[in-house]
Amino acid sequence: MMFVRRSYAVDLVVCVALGCDMFDCVFPTRTARFGSALVPWGSLQIKQKQYAKDFQPIDPECECPTCKRHSRAYLHALFKSDTAAMHHITIHNISYQLTLMRSVRQSIIEQRFPEFVQNFMRRMFSSGETYPGWAVDALASVNITLE
Ligand SMILES: [Zn+2]
């Protein structure tokens, strides 16, 4: 199944809801090479100018070594001269994916997966964008409604 990619994480959560057990396993590492850091509200393009003087971590709530040690500004500057920036972002993106899957798993065990999906989608689209129709339809087919 191939979805129009707005966010890898949205694809992943919708796939779990539909019972698929396969997803794009290289996305967190491949996207890191282009400076894209995955976050609960979408992704940050670390190469963009806006991060040059942004001294917070990629995700202040992330426990990964990259977020504990490096700022967005550091990674932005490093990206211009050293491939180590890609490695730091890769570590963060893999950590993000593991944390996301752990949260999905825990919500299934606790029988609150539909609420997890609703909260996940609300945060992912918190900037006021409307949910993509394919996600709304796919989730509705498994009785998960998005308001
Ligand atoms: Zn991190």
Using one digit for the tens of pLDDT, what is the confidence trace for 78-103?
Answer: 998 889 999 999 999 999 999 999 99
CA of 134 to the centre of ligand 1 (A): 29
Return d(Cα 95, Cα 18) in angstroms, integer.
24
Six token digits for residue 43 = 């992704």
Which residue's structure tokens are 């890191």?
32
CA of 58 to the centre of ligand 1 (A): 6
CA of 91 to the centre of ligand 1 (A): 7
Kindly tell me if the per-residue pLDDT of 2 is higher than 50: no
Six token digits for residue 57 = 């971590």
CB 39 within 8 A of CB 28: no
pTM of the model: 0.86
Six token digits for residue 41 = 């509200």
CA of 137 to the centre of ligand 1 (A): 32
Six token digits for residue 142 = 């498994």
Return d(Cα 85, Cα 80) in angstroms, integer.
9
Using one digit for the tens of pLDDT, what is the confidence trace for 5-54?
Answer: 457 788 888 888 888 766 667 788 888 889 999 999 889 999 999 999 99
